Structure 1
Amino acid sequence: MQRHIITTADGSKTIQIEEWNEQYHSIHGAIQEANHVYIKHGLLFCFDTHGFSKETLKDVSQTIAILEIGLGTGLNCFLTLLEAEKHHVAIHYRGVEAYPIALEEMEALNYVEELQAHDKKALFEEMHSSAWETDISLTPDFKLHKQQKLFKDITDKSQFDLIYFDAFGARVQPELWTETIFKIMFESLKANGILVTYAAKGSVRRAMQAVGFSVEKLPGPPGKREMLRATKHSTQLKC
């Protein structure tokens, strides 16, 4: 499938699949979208639900297990690493990707520059060049495990505190937004774990609710009115 690099509205780059007219990130701003959906309403919310505020996290040793559905360009992973270092939180990060990007595509992305994280350039490169199917310690507190597989083949049970659901949209891959897939997500989360996604379609929300999630609509990132956050409450366990 033909892919090329484009620049989004906030100056950060992403990859576009020409045949689908689909991007790995929002054309209204790749970094803006990732920060809004996955960091603000995902990671930082997860900090709070574990009983910590941003002010106290620096004094707390806490490990959060994250599953990313669609590792893609590595932007969500990189932003999470930066936040983990800022707040002194240990992260175990699982990135699932069926079709990894090429190293030359990675080299064309400008996240390090746009985030002014020049001292982390080697870490961003290692995220992509490191081996798959094994634990990699990018920093003393950030462990990455990449898996090359289809989302339907995930078999983890009660392993994750947080899921970044960043699959391609239902317009081009509707099979990724079904009850079948969200049941796998539900089962892979720990009690009171959460899932965040940029999507807000009614069919997506209903599929999440059908497998046991409590779902809330939240304000979306630039260019999008709403997004969804789903919670696996301990009183709703169906695993």
Structure 2
Amino acid sequence: MRNPEKKTEIRIVLTSDGSSSVFNPEFNQHYHSVFGALQESQRIFLELGLYAAFERFEQINVFEMGFGTGLNALLTLLEAEKNQRTVTYTAVETHPLSMEQARELNFDTLLNCHYLKPLHEAPWNRPVSITPVFDLVKYEGRLQDFQTTNRYNLVYFDAFAPEAQPELWTQEIFEQLAAMMQQGGLLTTYCSKSSVKWNLRAAGFLVEKHRGPAHKRDVLRAIRL
């Protein structure tokens, strides 16, 4: 059960492109690139993930490891509205932001929209329709404990870096994700370490290396074989 009194000791920071991020001292990690949260998410999760999924699949079923600031969900919602494509979005998060913390994020202002608040206000552990084409369900808990009968055709893998959360970058985790995905489904992530590529391949993915966002040479897109 979610404890509404529990707050992670974090702080909101501003990245180089003017968009917000979060710093979590427990993991010594930022939620997004300090060189630009918005441009990072746009490149890795939309350009390499969502746009490609739009071309491959009629209905998009997204799974995100790490809801975090809600930026990836927000950008996906905006594209679903723009293209009138139906998206079902599932996210797992172990350290949810409080509403007080979420209100400090500036994404709605930058993107001239009003969806970030309802994304964060959506109840945990049950589905809710944010718009007629975007359904959301957020689960509080560990990815290792997550169980589903759904089959996802797009995975945003946005866990903290391997040095902070090595348990989430293993072959076993990627096998768990592969079992949750449709054949031909896509997984995108910012981390291109050799160990991550090896574990993805061992779990049954075809791994592609792509140009990353600013100050990030390479990122990965993996295809579920």
- When the two structures are superposed, what TM-score results if normalisation uses the length of structure 2? 0.94
Q: What displacement does 1:43 show?
A: 0.1
The CA distance in 2 between the partners of 1:192 and 1:88, in whole Å, is 23
Structure 1 counterpart of 2:132: 140
1:184 and 1:106 map into 2 onto residues whose CA distance is 30
Tell me how many residue pairs correspond in the alignment. Answer: 218
Residue identity over aligned pairs, in percent, reads 39
**Equivalent position to 1:93, from 89, 92, 95:** 89
Asked whether the 8 Å contact 1:43–1:80 carries over to 2, the reply is yes
Give the alignment partner of residue 157 of structure 2, picking from 160, 165, 178.
165
Matched, 1:65 2:61: yes
Q: Distance in 2 between matches of 1:187 and 1:204?
A: 18
Provide closer, same or farther for how the CA distance between residues 220 and 130 of structure 1 changes in structure 2, counting only shifts above 3 A.
Answer: same
Question: Distance in 2 between the 1:199 and 1:142 partners?
Answer: 27
Following TM superposition, the consecutive aligned residue runs of length 4 or more in structure 1 with deviations greater than 6 angstroms are none
**Contact conserved, 1:65 with 1:162, CA < 8 A, in 2?**
yes
Cα shift readout 1:18-56 (whole Å, capped 9, x = no counterpart):
344310000010000000000000000111223xxxxxx
Q: Does 1:23 align with 2:27?
A: no
TM-superposed CA distance for 1:116, in Å, is 2.1
Written as runs of structure 1 = structure 2, the 5 A alignment for 1:128-207 is: 128-157=120-149, 159-207=151-199
Please state how far the C-alpha of 1:180 moved relative to its aligned partner. 1.2
Tell me the equivalent position of 2:107: 111
Unaligned stretches of 5+ residues in structure 2: 1-7
- CA apart distance, 1:155: 2.4
Q: Is residue 5–residue 16 contact of structure 1 (8 Å, CA) maintained in 2?
A: yes
Asked if the contact 1:13–1:110 (Cα under 8 Å) also holds between the matched residues in 2, the reply is yes
Structure 1 unaligned residues grouped into runs of 5+: 51-61, 234-239
Select 1:7's aligned residue among 6, 14, 21.
14
Is the Cα contact below 8 Å between 1:138 and 1:144 reproduced in 2?
yes
Q: Does the 8 A contact of 1:155 with 1:184 survive in 2?
A: no
Instruction: Name the counterpart of 1:32.
Output: 39
Aligned-residue offset at 1:135:
1.1
**Contact map agreement 1:157 1:189 (CA 8 A) in 2:** no
Aligned counterparts of 2:119 and 2:28: Cα–Cα separation in 1: 27
Separation in 2, partners of 1:72, 1:204: 21
Q: Give the TM-score of the pair, scaled to structure 1.
A: 0.88
SS at match of 1:108: coil
Match of 2:72 among 66, 73, 76: 76
Question: Given that residues 158 and 190 in structure 1 are in contact (C-alpha distance below 8 angstroms), is that contact kept between their aligned partners in structure 2?
Answer: no
Per the TM alignment, residue 157 of structure 1 is displaced from its structure 2 partner at its CA by 4.9
Q: Output the CA distance in 1 between the equivalents of 2:176 and 2:21.
A: 28
Please tell me the root mean square deviation across aligned C-alpha atoms, in Å. Answer: 1.2
